[in-house]
Structure 1
Amino acid sequence: MMALRTLVRAGRLLGVVAGGLAVAAWLACRPHTGVARRQRWTQWFLGSLARALPLTIQVHGRCAPGPALWVGNHVSWVDIAVLGSLAPLSFLSKADVRGWPIAGWLAHQAGTLFIRRGAGDGMRTNQQLAERLRAGHSLVIFPEGTTTDGQQLRTFHPRLLACAIDTGTPVQPVAIRYRRDGAPDPLAPFIGDDDLLSHLRRLLAADRAIVEVHLLPPIRSTGLDRGTLAAQAHAAVATVLFGVIATQRDAA
């Protein structure tokens, strides 16, 4: 029965991906399609993807009205499907994701912005993020810069929040927590040398897990420096995840 359940889930997931590829191919033939339309397609696709995974999503709180910079902890690639199902959003991703088979192409067609680590293009990335926010489009960034096992919260890199200050856009802190059988989910984290296919197989073979998404009160960026803004967002997320405020040192 477990093998049959896994096959049924895999078939449903393949159907979602096929539908996403069809829409992405249509968008690829129309390169001048606006960001708003790409975001609506992304929300539809990621919502379908999240529903195809064995997850029960519990949302606490409400999205900030108007454009916002969503800032949260990062546990897995699944975070993208979960958050993307909630609102029209664009994402910031590592440049190497652009080269992933299928997923990288889909991300590109969805309007994802890619950043190269240590490439010295931080100013250019900030300008691109600021342009999206000024145009009224919400963005998601994971300022830890990597995934964790969900039991820790790394430093939020302040430079990634400069675009919110430059545009006067509020920051929407988001805390994501995966639970299985009343305890932290050991299957959800996508860390280390794990590969996408192996991780996906484990998720599809397992029982349903719970994903808690906490949409916390927005933080006004006006008048704040990026270190203070990052620290406030970090503290908000840490309070939900661990019940205490974890401090972070300012980073460049």
Structure 2
Amino acid sequence: MLRLRVAARLARLLWVLLIGMAMASVTALGQHLRVPVSLALRQRWSRWYMQRLVGALPFQVEVLGELPQRPMLWVGNHVSWTDIPLLGMLTPLSFLSKAEVRHWPLAGWLAEQAGTLFIRRGGSDAQGLREQISQQLGDALPLLIFPEGTTTDGRSLRTFHGRLLAGAIDGATPLQPVAIQYWRSGEVDPIAPFVGDDDLVSHLLRLFAQPRGQVRIQLLAPISSVGKERAQLAFQAQQAIHGALFGHEQVELAPRRQARAA
């Protein structure tokens, strides 16, 4: 029975991946023929695709709060690679991801064709990245970043890096904080987090071998960036998300360790 469940889920996921490959091929062909697909259109396609991808994942999803009525810089806590489709299904978005993801088999190519911005570790491209973020937000195209810079096990929150928010300050773009939580049998889900030396295929197989988990996504009150320093803005967003996840007691940060980030 277990093997049948895993096989059925994998078959559905494979079908969704084939759809994604076809969509990404259209984008790549357009670039090759110098008829590029606009980022706004790629964001809409991405949302449609993320909705199908979430349907292939073993989660029951609950969304609380209201979607923003204007383009914003979305900021959220980061637990797993599954955060991307779960948040990407809500609205047309682009994502900021670590540069290593670009080289992941298939997933990296799909992310690139969807309009993902990539960041190198160490911040050597900080100014260029700031300009890219500022331009995208100035074009009224929403972007989601994970200011922790890595994943956690879902039981704590790490420090938000303010340098990633500078592009929002440049254009006075509000932040849309979003908190994501994974649950299983009434407890924090130990399977959904993608941390440490885990690899994508092994994690996916473990996830598919289990009954459906629960995901709660909380869309919090927007935060104005006008007149604020980036460190102040980062801390305000961190406090809001921490309060949604764990209550408003004193912030406890996760210990630093090597982790995977999508």
Give the partner amino acid of 2:25. A
Question: Distance in 2 between the 1:59 and 1:119 partners?
Answer: 33
Question: Distance in 2 between the 1:212 and 1:248 partners?
Answer: 21
| 1:114 paired to 2:118 | yes
TM-score (norm 1): 0.97
- Checking the alignment, whether the CA contact within 8 Å between 2:75 and 2:176 is kept in structure 1 is yes
| 1:71 paired to 2:75 | yes
Distance apart, 1:219 and its partner CA: 0.3
Distance apart, 1:225 and its partner CA: 0.9
Question: Distance in 2 between the 1:62 and 1:50 partners?
Answer: 20
Alignment-derived partner of residue 96 in structure 1: 100
Supply the RMSD in Å over aligned alpha carbons.
1.2
TM-score (norm 2): 0.93
Question: Distance in 2 between the 1:64 and 1:245 partners?
Answer: 27
Give the partner amino acid of 2:200. L
| 1:128 paired to 2:132 | yes
Which digits, 9 at most, give the CA deviation of each residue in 1:47-89, with x for residues without a partner? 1111100101100001211110010100000000100000000
Distance apart, 1:187 and its partner CA: 0.3
Alignment-derived partner of residue 21 in structure 1: 21
Q: In the alignment, which of 155, 160, 163 is matched to residue 156 of structure 1?
A: 160
Distance apart, 1:244 and its partner CA: 1.9
Alignment-derived partner of residue 46 in structure 1: 50
Q: Which runs of 5+ in 2 are unaligned?
A: 254-262
Alignment-derived partner of residue 176 in structure 2: 172
Give the % identical residues.
54
Q: In the alignment, which of 31, 38, 43 is matched to residue 34 of structure 1?
A: 38
Which digits, 9 at most, give the CA deviation of each residue in 1:90-111, with x for residues without a partner? 0000001000000000000000
Which digits, 9 at most, give the CA deviation of each residue in 1:133-186, with x for residues without a partner? 000000000000000001110000000011111011110001100000110000
- Checking the alignment, whether the CA contact within 8 Å between 2:156 and 2:252 is kept in structure 1 is no
Q: Which runs of 5+ in 1 are unaligned?
A: none
Question: Distance in 2 between the 1:247 and 1:231 partners?
Answer: 10
- Checking the alignment, whether the CA contact within 8 Å between 1:155 and 1:248 is kept in structure 2 is no
SS of residue in 2 equivalent to 1:15:
helix
Q: In the alignment, which of 223, 241, 247 is matched to residue 243 of structure 1?
A: 247
- Checking the alignment, whether the CA contact within 8 Å between 1:169 and 1:220 is kept in structure 2 is yes
Question: Distance in 2 between the 1:4 and 1:153 partners?
Answer: 37
Question: Distance in 2 between the 1:248 and 1:132 partners?
Answer: 33
Alignment-derived partner of residue 258 in structure 2: none
Alignment-derived partner of residue 57 in structure 1: 61
Question: Distance in 2 between the 1:44 and 1:103 partners?
Answer: 17
SS of residue in 2 equivalent to 1:20:
helix
